[in-house]
Amino acid sequence: MKVLVVGGGGREHALCWKLSQSPRVQRLYCAPGNGGIAEVAKLVPIEAEDLKGILKFVKEEAIDLTVIGPEAPLVGGLVDLLEGEGFRVFGPNKAASEIEGSKAFAKEFMRRHGIPTAPFVIFEDPEEAKSWIERSEKPLVVKASGLAAGKGTIICDSTEEALRAVDHIMVERAFGEAGSKVVVEERLEGQELSYIAFCDGEDILPMSTSQDHKRLLDGDKGPNTGGMGAYSPVPFVSPELERRIIREIMLPAVRGLKQEGRPYKGVLYAGLMIDRDGNPWVLEFNCRFGDPETQPLLVRMQGDILEVMLACIEGRLSEVQIGWDPSPAVCVVMASGGYPGPYEKGREIKGLEALEGMPDVWVFHAGTVKRDDKYFTSGGRVLGVTAKGRDLREAIRKAYEAVGRIHWEGVHYRRDIGQKGLSGAWPS
């Protein structure tokens, strides 16, 4: 089969790496890809949001399967465009993708279907939002309703911070049109969990559990980012909690979307908060694989991911299974200095060759370009250094040993990825 992966980040590198292992994949392309993806797939110079350009390429090359990584082309309707021309695509259509494309829609959808989520109010007028915030007595979170590359959620420690967040999103338009509407919700406390499942419109096939680290700095300080690292599996998730997540959140979401005429095929990601009493609450839904959760998940996943994707498209997910290596995996994101704000590009990345021969260590490229056999930074999140170990402690040690061998001017990374999972129970 000829397979095209759309996107150019660490998630897409991991997907290309995993798809390249399928015996059925004869030719693998990635648009636009990055310096690391070029090692496993042929790069196509088409941006992920150039829907017409992607359709043209798919037609010209007679692509058998297109796998869409990022949310923007999904929300923009790339699945609908390709399917309308008779091509197979892995990912939800435009209507189903609204569960990520509009946080306002997602919150109202959860309310309609009894899916547990924080109390919320939606505003289109910044003055009305600020007036409501001033009357509120609870800690709040302010979210841009539209797509903001994982950065549109502002966790507020005070009324003043919440008021500034409204101005930042709605008045200053820090996230463009994504901030024309905001969701203001009660701040939940507990431990975050990423729960990701394959869907075929009827059934789900869950992946293993993972935990992202969204904040920029150690100890979950600083602004939100696209994700600074992740690990899998998460020790504090009991079989009973997982059953509740499936029963109370994942299945109601898939069935609710079908009921509303938005059948969901692809990957559904639930960003959850597990409170002190062990109850799961939905922070957000995403319509695609997580980044960086995909990196540790796919190095643990056993089996042919292509077969699972085809089963989703063909509505026969109940016929396939996934195995999981019990060895934990950790991904540490190495980012450009200044991220998630302005950052410089073109810094030479040194030390990658020092990782050759390190067992169970992978470097998934996110924001890199390759010139004259050298790699240079080209994005905010640059590399996802991923390692697997006999236990979580060893996986963390191996990941950071590898990180320590890589350098470029201004490199930044968190030094506490995975630490929450070391207690084996509820992290303190």
Give the domain CATH number at 356.
Answer: 3.90.600.10
Domain end residue (candidates: 324, 341, 364): 324
Domain closes at, from 262, 292, 324: 324
Confidence grade of residue 424 (pLDDT, cut at 50, 70, 90)? low
* Alpha-carbon span 48 to 355, nearest angstrom: 30
Note whether 74 and 287 are within 8 A (CB). yes
Pairing of strands 229-232, 329-335: antiparallel
Is there a single domain that holds both residue 86 and residue 181?
no
pLDDT score, position 201: 96
Number of Cβ within a 10 Å radius of residue 41: 24
> According to the model, what pLDDT value does residue 148 have?
86
| DSSP string of 102-120, one letter each residue | -HHHHHHHHHHTT--B--E
Query: Taking Cα atoms as reference points, which of 188, 186, 185 lies closest to residue 123?
Result: 185
What is the end-to-end Cα distance of the chain in Å, rounded? 48
**Claim to verify: residue 148 and residue 251 sit in the same structural domain:** no
Residues 97-145: tens digit of each pLDDT:
999 999 999 999 999 999 999 999 999 999 999 999 999 989 999 999 9
Q: Reply yes or no on whether the pLDDT at 210 is more than 80.
A: yes
How many domains, the chain? 4
Q: Give, in degrees to the nearest 5, the angle at Cα 299 between 294 and 303.
A: 100
Q: Tell me what pLDDT residue 426 has.
A: 52
Q: CB within 8 A of 359, min separation 6: which ones?
A: none
pLDDT tens, 245-262? 999 999 999 999 999 999
Residues 58 and 136 in one domain: no
Averaged pLDDT for residues 4-17? 98
- Can you give the C-alpha Rg of the chain in angstroms? 20
Q: Can you give the residue range of the structural domain that contains 266?
A: 191-324
- Per-residue HEC secondary structure of 219-249 comes to CCEEEECCCCEEEECCCCCCHHHHHHHHHHH
Mean pLDDT within 311-318: 97
Is the pLDDT assigned to residue 67 strictly greater than 50?
yes
**CA separation for the pair 144, 406 (Å, rounded):** 35
299 to each of 18, 188, 296, 402, how far by Cα in Å?
Answer: 8, 31, 5, 16
Structure tokens at 313: 């498209």
Query: In the prediction, which pLDDT does 428 show?
Result: 41
Tell me, yes or no, whether 309 and 198 share the same domain.
yes
Residue 366 lies in a domain: yes
Residues 210 and 320 in one domain: yes
Is 103 contained in some domain? no
Among 209, 258, 212, 259, CA closest to 236:
209
Q: Is residue 358 part of a domain?
A: yes
Rounded to 5°, angle at Cα 243 from 239 and 246: 140
Residue 110: partners with Cβ closer than 8 Å, 6 or more residues away: 116, 117, 253, 282
Mean pLDDT of the 79-87 span? 98
Task: Say which DSSP state 352 is in.
Answer: G
> Closest Cα partner for 362 from 408, 415, 406?
406
Single residue among 167, 186, 205 that ends a domain in this structure = 186
Q: Report how far Cα 86 is from the mean position of its chain's Cα atoms.
A: 28
Q: What is the pLDDT of residue 425?
A: 53
Give a yes or no: residue 112 inside a domain: no
Average pLDDT over the chain reads: 96
The pLDDT confidence band at residue 59, using thresholds 50, 70 and 90, is very high
Find the mean pLDDT for residues 182-202: 96
Residue 195 sits in the same domain as residue 278: yes
Decide if pLDDT at 93 tops 60: yes
138, with CB counted inside 10 A (0-12, 13-18, 19+), is exposed
Residues 313 and 215 in one domain: yes
272 falls within a domain: yes
Residue 407: which pLDDT band, with cuts at 50, 70 and 90? very high
Same domain, 239 and 305: yes
Helix (H, G, I), strand (E, B) or coil at 68: strand
Contact 420, 399 (CB under 8 A): no
* Residues 6+ away with beta carbon under 8 Å from 237: 193, 209, 274
Residue 106 lies in a domain: no
Task: Return the structure tokens found at 164.
Answer: 């500034």
pLDDT of residue 252: 98
- Nearest-CA neighbor of 367 among 273, 292, 256? 292
- CA 219, 220, 223, 229 dihedral sign is positive
Let me know whether 319 and 206 are in one domain.
yes
Strands 374-377 and 191-200 turn out to be unpaired
Query: Which of 15-19, 62-66, 309-313, 353-357 is the least confident region?
Result: 353-357
> Residue 129 belongs to a domain with what CATH number?
3.30.1490.20
> For 315-360, where are the E strands, in sequence order?
323-324, 329-335, 348-349
Tokens of 11: 């998630």
Tell me the two tokens of residue 129.
């939002």
| Percentage of the residues of the chain whose pLDDT score is greater than 90 | 95
Same domain for 200 and 317, yes or no, is: yes
CB of 328 within 8 A of CB of 214? no
Strand partners, 383: 334, 365
Q: Are residues 209 and 312 in the same domain?
A: yes
pLDDT at 427 over 50: no
Asked, for residue 200, whether it belongs to a domain, the answer is yes
Residue 45 in any domain: the answer is: yes
Based on the fold, state whether residues 140 and 261 are members of the same structural domain: no
